[in-house]
Structure 1
Amino acid sequence: MADKSNLLMFGATGAIGNYIIKAIINSKDAFGRIAVFTSANTVASKVKEIDALKQAGVEIITGDIASQDDVKAAYSGFDTVISALGRGAIASQIPLIQLAAESSNIKRFVPSEYGTDIEYGPASQHEKPHQQKLKVRAALKEVQGQLEHAYVVTGPYGDYPFYIGPAAEPKVGSFDATKKHAVLLGDGNGRISLTSRPDVGKFVVHTLTHWDVARNRAMKVNSFTTTPRGILEEFEKQTNSKWTVDYTPLEELRRIEKKAWENGAPIATVCTLRRIWTEGSTLYDRRDNEDIGAVQTESLEDLVRGSIQGQLAASQ
């Protein structure tokens, strides 16, 4: 982009939005205005976070995301929208996209796509956790020509407390540094690509600053590729100990997943995603890091170190 883009972000104080807005702030010289749209409730309940954003020069726009008038007013003066809305609010992006397409000044929309590739293969369209994101992609397809987009597809978050850490249900995969016990999925040798949340923020920034190559693409990016066994070996190295190990074969994981959905268990989505990853659906013919100049990323060693520190701190 020849001119500095003016950015408006939704979901900036959430679990992943927090990392994205930090990365944007760290690269603020590359952008013009930077603002976040948030609710009055968030402003009142997250005073510390909102004050930190203000001190960093971020504008705070307060409104109701369900109000067309509030969103239209917020769009004024901006050309790029970035969404980091959580899984429960994914469908809320559809009216945001429609209003952006109708706007005379919004040119680009980066939806909340961070995570699993929802169009990895023919079976992906049937996966339950993908349905709302697929509707968002359909909405963007409908306005193509009016509104540009880029999907930042990062694969699963690897950093603690996510994949490289203990699980509430260990059978869906776990690395417990306090017990020095791991549960590996499959045979432990299946490759999986992971991304740290700080790297998600970096990838969004690089997408925005390399828009000529990212425009209207699904950018498949990640921090590194490893195996469950490789993660275990790094834990054993950093804890200087031999861990006990159990395995959850893929067929058993599928049975756990099926039962979780039948029982309406909160862990059902996690089961499905981990089954998808264990089947190899984080592996691509190529990754797009190099296309957007995001080649320096966090390593497996970094994420294991952070997980050990986080787990020990949580246990005290």
Structure 2
Amino acid sequence: MSLAKNILLFGATGTIGSFILDAILPVRAQFNRVAIFTSPHTAETKAAHLEKLKQQNVEVIIGSVEDEEAIKAAYEGIDTVISALGRNTLAQQIPLIRLAAASPSVKWFLPSEYGTDIKYGPASAHEKPHQQKLKVRAYIENEVSRDDLSYSYVVTGPFAEMYLNLVPGLEEAGGWDVRGRKAVLLGEKGDEEISLTTMKDVGTLVLNTLLHATAETRNSALCVNSFTTTPDKIQAEFERQTGQRWESVSRTSLARLRELETQAWEAGKPAATVLTLRRIWTEGGTLYAERDNRAIGEPQVMGLEEVVANEIARVSKL
């Protein structure tokens, strides 16, 4: 049985949280308790889904993350907390961590770290999209005793599905349009490597972190991924699987990406965050000298061929 025996998951009905829960459910028997904390609004709008989870022996706790008494009650008997809160609510993790450290039972906290490595290099500390995650890390590392609470950051790099997506109106930010056979590759040459992780694999990697708790995986950042590739290799795989050469293939240079990023931040556009992240990825800010999949049991993850096949299948259903 895992050292994490009684689990509480925040954000379980969100995009990434649902994949984490989906990974846990098939091995539900390895845990004593699996609970999720969800809002009254979600309880009302996703009642049928939550009922199905209850039938799979998942405890559904309803409350507000801003209600400290509700959080304290939810933590009773829980030893491991997993957060999958979204980018706009990351700061709410700080009181969750404070209350976890004060809890007599909670001993391990996995913050919502899935995505770009926010401490990849010295410049990372100044990246605007990283600031909330950096504040959460600073709190758990400096304000909480390791005797009270340990942590693990599951750093996955960019989601493959997000990287492949060619956003209408933001085409220069890169991506692939299967239906239109159109692609915009990031970088000058197309051979710049990028590390990607599918959303499904995020769930797998978090689960394996729970199942392989060691001194190596506690109080550390686990830099994990599905695979490493290049824009040109992705394009070649799309053309191989669609059986034709794509005529509309262009490139956005790193210099142009930086220009678009600066303009977006100055204009206060929501796309600024997307452009910053894609610039970081194109600069190589997702590449690890050594990935930590081995430390968590080297779980089976998806590869480029499967990801491209899934994207083609998804588009064909639309």
- TM class by shorter chain equals over 0.9
Tell me how far 1:132 sits from its aligned partner.
Answer: 0.2
**Deviation by residue 1:202-258 (Cα, 9 ceiling, x = unmatched):** 000110111113111100000000001100000000000101210000000001111
Deviations 1:55-109 (A, max 9, x none): 2110000111101101001100111100000000000000000000011110000
1:204 aligns with 2:206: yes
1:183 counterpart SS class: strand
| TM-score (structure 1 length as normaliser) | 0.96
Partners of 1:2 and 1:65 in 2: how far apart? 27
The alpha carbon displacement at 1:29 in A equals 2.2
Residue 107 of structure 1 is matched in structure 2 by 107
Q: How does 1:53-72 map to 2 (within 5 A)?
A: 53-72=53-72
Whether 1:280 and 2:284 are equivalent positions in the alignment is yes
The whole-number CA distance in structure 2 between the counterparts of 1:33 and 1:261 is: 44
- Deviation for aligned residue 1:12: 0.2
Give SS of 2:185's match: strand
Shift in Å, 1:311? 2.0
Q: Which residue of 2 aligns with 1:154?
A: 156
Deviation at 1:111, TM superposition (A): 0.5
- In the alignment, what sits opposite 2:227? 224
The residue type equivalent to 2:133 in the other structure is K
- Provide the secondary structure at the position in 2 that maps to 1:193: strand
Q: Is the 8 A contact 1:4 1:30 kept in 2?
A: no
Q: 1:128 to 1:4 in 2, by over 3 A?
A: closer
Q: How big is each residue's C-alpha offset from its partner over 1:149-203, in whole Å with a ceiling of 9 and x where there is no partner?
A: 00000000002xx112322311000101111111000121100000011100000
- Structure 1's 208 and 3: CA in aligned 2 closer, same or farther, altered over 3 A? closer
Q: Given the alignment, which residue of 236, 241, 252 partners 2:239?
A: 236
Work out whether 1:179 is the aligned partner of 2:183: no
Unaligned runs of 5+ in 2: none
Q: Indicate the SS of the match to 1:150.
A: strand
Q: How does 1:84-123 map to 2 (within 5 A)?
A: 84-123=84-123
Tell me which amino acid in the other structure corresponds to 1:180.
Answer: R
Residues 1-316 of structure 1: pairs in structure 2 closer than 5 A: 3=3, 5-141=5-141, 142-145=143-146, 146-159=148-161, 162-168=162-168, 169-187=170-188, 188-212=190-214, 213-243=216-246, 244-314=248-318
In 2: Cα distance, 1:249 partner to 1:34 partner: 46
Asked if the contact 2:2–2:211 (Cα under 8 Å) also holds between the matched residues in 1, the reply is no
The Cα shift of 1:3 comes to 5.0
Give secondary structure in 1 for the equivalent of 2:163: coil
User: Counterpart amino acid of 2:261?
Assistant: E
Hey, what's the Cα distance between the residues in 2 that align with 1:26 and 1:129?
A: 34
Change (3 A) 1:251 1:214: same
| Superposed CA offset, 1:119-166 (max 9, x none) | 00000000000000000001111213221000000000002xx11232
Q: 2:228 and 2:157 mapped to 1: Cα distance?
A: 10
Q: State how far apart, in whole Å, the 1-side matches of 2:123 and 2:30 are.
A: 39
CA distance in 1, matches of 2:4, 2:67: 28
Q: Distance in 1 between matches of 2:179 and 2:315?
A: 7
Deviations 1:240-298 (A, max 9, x none): 01012100000000011111111111111110000000000111110000111134210
Asked if 1 retains the 8 angstrom alpha-carbon contact of 2:4 and 2:80, the reply is no
Question: Any conservation in 2 of the 1:167–1:174 contact (CA below 8 Å)?
Answer: yes
Matched position secondary structure for 2:172: helix
CA RMSD, Structure 1 to Structure 2 (Å): 1.2
Query: Aligned to 1:57, what secondary structure does the other structure show?
Result: coil
Aligned length: 312
